């Protein structure tokens, strides 16, 4: 027997040096040899029918959707369609929910509180803070998720997603990541927390971590409203009215595309530094196309995805609402804590082409990105001393017309740069606390959770800083 | 069927079971009342579970792989007064990469050393399925190919030449339609023949490696063979080491591979009761 410890190490060392001698990607050479052998053997053993190939619908669709030429345009078209349906379809039910929860139920609750002579601070904390934050999250988040998730699940059920992963596999592999990350990124466009959960489909821990850390660069539902509103106000205003809608929509798509680009860049950087390793090969079976089971799909996607994500958001929105109300109403030296914070952060914010209000709003809105815009508006009104908007200090509200919003923001000193940088920062900043919590649950690691949270926010600060500095260089 | 190679074996006996009882206990399989261990591998969607059910009938139960949350089905069947224990492996496309399912399947075939590994393939998707077959054959010679879904192949007017396939792969090939119970008797007989040593397959190894890799593999294979003289799959171990497989490196450091090479004490390796009958 020759397997003494010393010999064992020699054997492993020799394997290592031979590995270097051979060079190239041994794994791929091996896989290729197996495939070549398998093809040869199968070719000799199987006799195909002599009749000419019949028209095969599945294969024709496959050739089209996975072709090098048409694959990506078709993908872009399908997703534009889904986002368009989501964005335009969500407005109406969002309006209904807002009317119901904010216009109808809110006064009833206030009246009820007054009837039982609840102290003003408790009434403010519970109703103006916690209730309104929750109502906001529900009315903004529920409709887009209830549209996006079933549409996405239908696409999945139909069998398109494996083809999509097939298309994107090459790009992700080039970035040292797993091809299935394409799927989790798509989920992230709906909700990053759901996207992080979806990374379970990636088996290799290294590639799964890359997918988790970069998922935040997929613009989630909670951030779409911010993007759309700010784009409409600041970008759409740059062009004649008949182009405004198209141009602002394109600027939102550009931000989303920037997010995809960042996903690749950061995946690439991670796989060459802290998460070094080879991309693993996987067999992707392209299942036959099936007619989707519409009702079952809608039901399960509502239960499994929509309600699950919504519930986590609500859990975090309630305490956030309480905090917003508290910092706007608790005063120190005659000025509310919120104003202290804004004044303190303002110089820093201006350096980034943002302002103190936005930074405070982002800190307060860590629990849920949906409440960024209402918080921004509320804090702006508070500090600029405008009157006639909203219900009072610390009450979150949303204005009916973008013109009103524009008026408030201008009085708060906003410029085009502020708008652009807000859009950039909204894309590149820390994940919401729901997502952070999910990352912790999924990885079980404080270290990776911290990295996932801090990496994007540092990147966002760098990007907005340089945008602001270059901007002032050119505009004087 | 496969040609039989009657080369005299230097050690062990013709019909002695191969399986590694001690390792199997660690893998959660108790061979107390069984003569031979048969395991079932295959791609997903090949009708593997149907084959499992057809072979075991009601004699089956499910549990988990030790320490893993992957379910495992096991059962048994009898043929010619011999009792075969059947363990269903997770359905996988390969044994190369890093997924938990693939690791479980790979470790079981490697460390459990089942007496026969049945690889179930979809006759209508032979090329894709052969990738797994070739990888199994790198680890063990003692395999039987279950060419399943023959009914579907017929429906698609595909003709599969199973004799040619058996010659090319070097293992017995049995066409089946497990859904209709067709070919199951032949499958059981082929398993029995391989288990008892009546048929000694000589499995094909991957032949189209690039020349640099082939040379390095050969060199390392000799080193592995020297370190572990009785290891049946030195070439495969060499390939895994060249591929940088950490699990195999670990198995070498911890001595797990040495255990396999050394085999078990003779009295342990002798089949209980039926050894004489079979031999």
Predicted ipTM?
0.83
- Tell me the pTM: 0.56
- Helix and strand numbers (H, E) in chain B are 13, 8
Whole-angstrom CA distances from B171 to B5, B106, B125, B134, B236 are 11, 19, 19, 11, 18
CB contact B70 to A (< 8 Å): no
User: What is the spatial distance between Cα B67 and Cα B27, in angstroms, rounded to a whole number?
Assistant: 9
The pLDDT of residue B109: 92
How much is the average pLDDT of A298-304?
Answer: 77
Rounded to a whole number of angstroms, the distance from the CA of B138 to the nearest CA of chain A is 10
The pLDDT of residue A282: 63
Instruction: Tell the residue number behind the tokens 């139920």, with chain if given.
Output: A105
The pLDDT of residue A258: 93
The pLDDT of residue A143: 78
Where is average pLDDT lowest: A245-254, A267-276, A465-474?
A245-254
Residue A376 forms beta bridges with which residues? none
> What pLDDT digit, counting tens, does each position of B172-226 carry?
999 999 988 899 999 999 999 999 988 899 988 888 888 889 999 999 999 988 8
The pLDDT of residue B1: 43
> What pLDDT digit, counting tens, does each position of A324-368 carry?
788 888 888 878 888 888 889 999 998 999 988 899 888 887 777
User: Which letter, b or e, does each residue of A436-471 get, where b requires 16 or more Cβ atoms within 10 Å of its Cβ?
Assistant: bbbbbebbeeeebbebbbebbbebbbebbeebbeee
- Stated length of chain B: 279
The pLDDT of residue B265: 36
- pLDDT category of residue A383 using cuts at 50, 70 and 90: low
Listed in sequence order, the residues at least 6 apart from A177 whose beta carbon sits closer than 8 Å to its beta carbon are: A207, A210, A211, A214, A267, A268, A271, A279
CB contact under 8 A, A3 and B258: yes
Nearest neighbour of A46 by CB, restricted to B158, B169, B208: B158
Whole-angstrom CA distances from B97 to A123, A152, A210, B114, B146 are 59, 29, 18, 21, 24
The pLDDT of residue B146: 96
The pLDDT of residue A400: 56
Show residues of chain B in contact with A19, CB under 8 Å: 216, 241-242, 244
> What pLDDT digit, counting tens, does each position of A227-248 carry?
877 887 788 778 887 777 777 7
CB contact under 8 A, B98 and A35: no
- Helices A160-174 + A181-190 axis angle, to 10: 110
CB contact B168 to A (< 8 Å): yes
Comparing C-alpha atoms, which of B239, B256, B252, B110 is closest to residue A10?
B252
* Pair B141, B232: CB distance under 8 Å: yes
Q: Is the pLDDT of residue A175 over 90?
A: no
The pLDDT of residue B4: 42
> What pLDDT digit, counting tens, does each position of A101-110 carry?
888 898 899 8
Cα-Cα-Cα-Cα torsion A157, A158, A161, A162, nearest 10 degrees, comes to 100
How much is the average pLDDT of A70-80?
Answer: 80
> What pLDDT digit, counting tens, does each position of A108-129 carry?
998 999 899 888 888 888 888 8
B131 vs A370 pLDDT, higher one: B131
Residue of A46, A202, A281, A290 for testing the chain B interface, max B β-carbons within 10 Å: A46
Q: Which residues of chain B have pLDDT under 70?
A: 1-15, 69, 97-98, 261-279
């Amino acid at each position: 027997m020759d397997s003494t410890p010393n010999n064992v190490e020699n054997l492993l060392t020799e394997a290592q040096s031979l590995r270097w001698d051979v060079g190239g990607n041994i794994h791929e050479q091996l896989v290729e040899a197996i495939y070549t052998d398998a093809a040869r053997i199968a070719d000799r053993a199987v006799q195909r029918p002599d009749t000419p190939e019949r028209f095969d619908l599945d294969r024709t669709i496959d050739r089209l959707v996975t072709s090098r030429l048409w694959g990506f345009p078709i993908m872009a078209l399908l997703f534009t369609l889904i986002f368009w349906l989501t964005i335009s379809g969500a407005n109406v039910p969002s309006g209904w929910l807002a009317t119901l929860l904010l216009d109808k139920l809110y006064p009833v609750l206030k009246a009820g509180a007054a009837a039982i002579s609840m102290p003003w601070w408790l009434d403010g904390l519970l109703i103006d803070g916690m209730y309104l934050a929750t109502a906001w999250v529900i009315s903004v988040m529920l409709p887009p998720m209830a549209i996006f998730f079933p549409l996405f699940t239908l696409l999945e059920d139909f069998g398109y997603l494996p083809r999509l992963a097939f298309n994107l596999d090459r790009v992700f592999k080039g970035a040292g990541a797993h091809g299935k990350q394409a799927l989790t990124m798509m989920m992230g466009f709906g909700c990053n927390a759901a996207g992080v959960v979806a990374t379970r489909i990636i088996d290799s821990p290294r590639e799964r971590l890359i997918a988790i850390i970069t998922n935040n660069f997929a613009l989630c539902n909670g951030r779409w409203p911010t993007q759309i509103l700010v784009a409409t106000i600041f970008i759409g205003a740059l062009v004649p009215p008949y182009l405004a809608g198209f141009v602002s929509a394109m600027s939102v798509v550009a931000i989303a595309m920037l997010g995809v680009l960042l996903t690749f860049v950061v995946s690439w950087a991670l796989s060459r530094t802290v998460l070094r390793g080879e991309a693993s090969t996987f067999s992707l079976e392209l299942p036959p196309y099936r007619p989707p089971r519409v009702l079952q799909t809608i039901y399960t996607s509502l239960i499994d995805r929509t309600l699950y994500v919504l519930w986590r958001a609500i859990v975090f929105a309630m305490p956030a609402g309480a905090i917003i109300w508290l910092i706007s109403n608790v005063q120190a030296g005659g000025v509310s804590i919120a104003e202290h914070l804004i004044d303190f952060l303002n110089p820093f914010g201006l350096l980034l082409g943002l302002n103190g209000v936005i930074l405070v709003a982002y800190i307060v809105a860590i629990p849920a990105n949906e409440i960024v815009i209402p918080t921004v508006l509320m804090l702006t009104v508070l500090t600029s001393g405008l009157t006639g908007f909203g219900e009072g200090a610390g009450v979150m509200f949303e204005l009916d017309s973008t013109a009103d919003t524009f008026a408030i923001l201008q009085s708060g000193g906003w410029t085009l740069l502020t708008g652009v940088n807000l859009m950039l920062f909204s894309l590149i900043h820390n994940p919401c606390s729901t997502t952070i919590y999910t990352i912790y649950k999924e990885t079980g690691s404080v270290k990776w959770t911290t990295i996932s949270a801090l990496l994007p926010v540092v990147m966002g600060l760098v990007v907005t800083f340089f945008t602001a500095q270059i901007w002032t260089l050119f505009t004087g | 069927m496969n040609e039989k190679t009657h080369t005299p074996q230097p050690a062990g006996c013709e019909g002695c079971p191969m399986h590694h009882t001690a390792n199997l206990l660690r893998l959660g399989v108790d061979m107390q009342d069984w003569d031979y261990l048969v395991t079932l591998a295959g791609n997903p969607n090949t009708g593997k579970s149907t084959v499992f059910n057809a072979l075991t009938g009601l004699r089956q139960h499910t549990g988990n792989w030790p320490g893993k949350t992957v379910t495992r089905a096991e059962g048994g069947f009898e043929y010619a007064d011999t009792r075969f224990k059947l363990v269903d492996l997770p359905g996988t496309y390969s044994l190369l990469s890093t997924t938990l399912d693939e690791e479980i399947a790979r470790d079981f075939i490697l460390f459990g050393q089942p007496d026969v590994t049945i690889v179930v393939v979809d006759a209508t998707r032979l090329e894709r399925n052969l990738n797994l077959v070739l990888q199994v054959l790198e680890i063990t010679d003692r395999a039987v190919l279950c060419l399943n879904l023959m009914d579907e192949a017929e429906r698609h007017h595909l003709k599969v030449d199973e004799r040619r396939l058996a010659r090319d792969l070097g293992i017995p090939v049995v066409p089946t339609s497990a859904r209709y119970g067709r070919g199951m008797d032949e499958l059981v007989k082929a398993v029995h023949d391989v288990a008892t040593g009546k048929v000694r397959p000589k499995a094909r190894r991957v032949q189209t490696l690039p020349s640099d890799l082939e040379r390095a593999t050969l060199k390392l294979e000799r080193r592995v063979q020297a370190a572990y003289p009785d290891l049946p799959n030195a070439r495969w171990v060499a390939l895994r080491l060249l591929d940088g497989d950490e699990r195999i490196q670990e198995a070498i450091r911890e001595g797990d591979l040495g255990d396999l090479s050394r085999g078990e004490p003779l009295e342990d390796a002798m089949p209980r009761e039926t050894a004489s009958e079979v031999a």
